[in-house]
Amino acid sequence: MAKSEAKELFKEFKIQSVSEFFRRNAAMLGYTGKVRSLTTIIHEAVTNALDACEEAGILPYVRVEIEELGKEHYKIIVEDNGPGIPEKFITHVFGKMLAGTKAHRNIQSRGQQGIGISGAVMFAQMTSGKATRVITSTGDDVTLEAWVMIDVDKNEGKVVRKIRHKNREGWRGTRIEMEVKDVRYIRSKQGPYWYLKLTAIANPHAHIELIEPDGKLIVFPRGSEEIPDPPEEMKPHPRGVITDDIFRMAKKTRRNSIKRFLVGEFSRISDQKVDEIVRYMAALRLIKSVEEDKKREQLYERLANGDVKLILKGFGKRGKAVLRETSKIMEKPPEKLTWHEAEEIIEAFKYIKFLAPPTSGLRPIGDENIERGLVNILSPEFVTSLTRPPKVYRGGIPFQVEVGLAFGGNLTGFDILRYANRVPLLFDAGSCVTTSAVKSVEWKRYKVDNLEDAPLVVFVNVISVHVPYTSTGKQSIASESEIYEEIRLALMEAGRRLKRYLSGKHKKLHQVKRRKTLEKYVNEVAQALSILIEKPPEEIRTHFVNLIERRFEEAAQSEGGA
């Protein structure tokens, strides 16, 4: 069964042609700095494992082992119980730049660029010169041991050595071993430990283990048996794409005309919308030809107001001719679409009103799972979380915000745990919209007086098909005002819950203390009163105990009603 799942999955693989990409863009891909490079490698491997398990419906078990071989020289081993990799896909998974199951799919996923694990293979190869050892089985009778390298000129993965073993125990999963240099293991908030801890919180269905270089085993146990639904593939929304996307997609589609391509592969584009696109493209061509600046500006303004038909009329015969030209584009086969035409379509998209995109493709972690994750890994005293309804930013890109608060218990200080599509963000916290939104909340209102010293952990996950990162390093989210507002609103609601909890707790503690104070004196009072009124102290004592009991019952009831 696992085998068929795997085959299904890997059918999606398509090869993209970008070569030597990594060598030039190592920094951009997260391979900058000794600590960060190590974290990135582990991130890529763990992400692959979790994604594969999720898509195959397997509860993930991920084990990360870091062995110190010398100064800034490590062996990294990542093993999972995922679906395994069929032999013919090994070079694709580990060897191709921009090859992957998701780069060309419009899907909310942990990684987005499709460089993924092949980047890690590349990094290992560049720093240590060693091939990456892959041991994998889809659960059939063969376990494959392969050494993978990347042919930098040809942009191809090569299996330099391959051994087939009998898989007697029916093992299924993938184990990757790579040797890297120029990296450093530190137990800091940018290191693998912190990364895995945050990953465990956001993925309570995963069991994650880490063996640190000194041999210490750290276990982040599974907190939930619920495998999240794999994200649905969503057709891109016209507002969410750039020229390159359309150009690239047009080259790959099987549709036979550009019109069919647009209607079929984008959301919210109908036949009528294509006619509208044609009119706008024509209008834009015509407006560009106007020489007088002032007049041109006026026309752009009118176009933005939707006066497209009147504008075309205004150009008379020429207008009709241009309209015919742009209509013809739509009849061409998609692979004939030129870069310039793609640009024109994108420009037209900007003037046309589209329905907001469907949000069904967004997959939040969910309140319950966030709470499970926080409780399981952090052992706080109080936890709450909430998922806001989906919203759009930049007029068309759907996104959704989830937040969680953990307070007290084993927590010792304040932390912000930032996530984008469940992936922990460890770097560039200062420029991230999450950080600024968290800081903008007036925590004092929610009984958190001194934020920096409070035993409070703020969890924020921003979910989107297209998360607006500030840079290609993908470690901080841009300050889109809609996202900023959503995070704030979510945190304020969670803050109100925290406040309710804290004030209730104070009240309760206070009541317990009061009761104890009174009970303490009952014996003394009963004894003294028994001398004064010459009645047995036990009888008096009973009356006093009942009095206190009744008084606190009333207090508890009036509190419960409030």
For residues 321 and 282, the answer to whether their CB atoms sit within 8 Å is: no
Closer to another protein at the Cβ: 340 or 533? 533
Cα distance between residue 47 and residue 212, in whole Å: 19
Phi, psi angle pair for 372, to nearest 5° = -60, -45
Q: How far is the CB of 524 from another protein (least distance, A)?
A: 5
Q: How far is the CB of 552 from another protein (least distance, A)?
A: 10
Cα distance between residue 147 and residue 312, in whole Å: 62
Measured from the Cβ of residue 514, the count of other Cβ atoms closer than 10 Å reads: 14
Cα distance between residue 115 and residue 48, in whole Å: 11
The amino acid at 406:
A
Q: Which residues bind another protein (CB under 8 A)?
A: 513-514, 517-518, 520-521, 523-525, 527-529, 531-533, 535, 540, 543-544, 546-548, 550-551
Closer to another protein at the Cβ: 290 or 525? 525
Closer to another protein at the Cβ: 11 or 506? 506
Q: How far is the CB of 447 from another protein (least distance, A)?
A: 23
CA 462 to chain centre: 6
Beta strands in 182-306 (DSSP E): 207-211, 217-220
Closer to another protein at the Cβ: 360 or 523? 523
Q: How far is the CB of 527 from another protein (least distance, A)?
A: 8
Closer to another protein at the Cβ: 251 or 513? 513
Phi, psi angle pair for 281, to nearest 5° = -60, -40
For residues 46 and 489, the answer to whether their CB atoms sit within 8 Å is: no
Closer to another protein at the Cβ: 214 or 524? 524
Cα distance between residue 331 and residue 162, in whole Å: 49
Q: Give the pair of three-digit tokens for residue 231.
A: 């994200």
Phi, psi angle pair for 14, to nearest 5° = -135, 150
Q: How far is the CB of 522 from another protein (least distance, A)?
A: 9
Cα distance between residue 562 and residue 557, in whole Å: 9
Closer to another protein at the Cβ: 304 or 528? 528
Q: How far is the CB of 421 from another protein (least distance, A)?
A: 53
Q: How far is the CB of 558 from another protein (least distance, A)?
A: 15
Q: How far is the CB of 530 from another protein (least distance, A)?
A: 8
Rounded to the nearest 10 degrees, how much is the dihedral formed by the CA atoms of 309, 310, 311, 312? 50
Query: Could you report how far apart the first and last alpha carbons of the chain are, in Å?
Result: 56
Closer to another protein at the Cβ: 129 or 536? 536
DSSP-derived letter for residue 457 is E
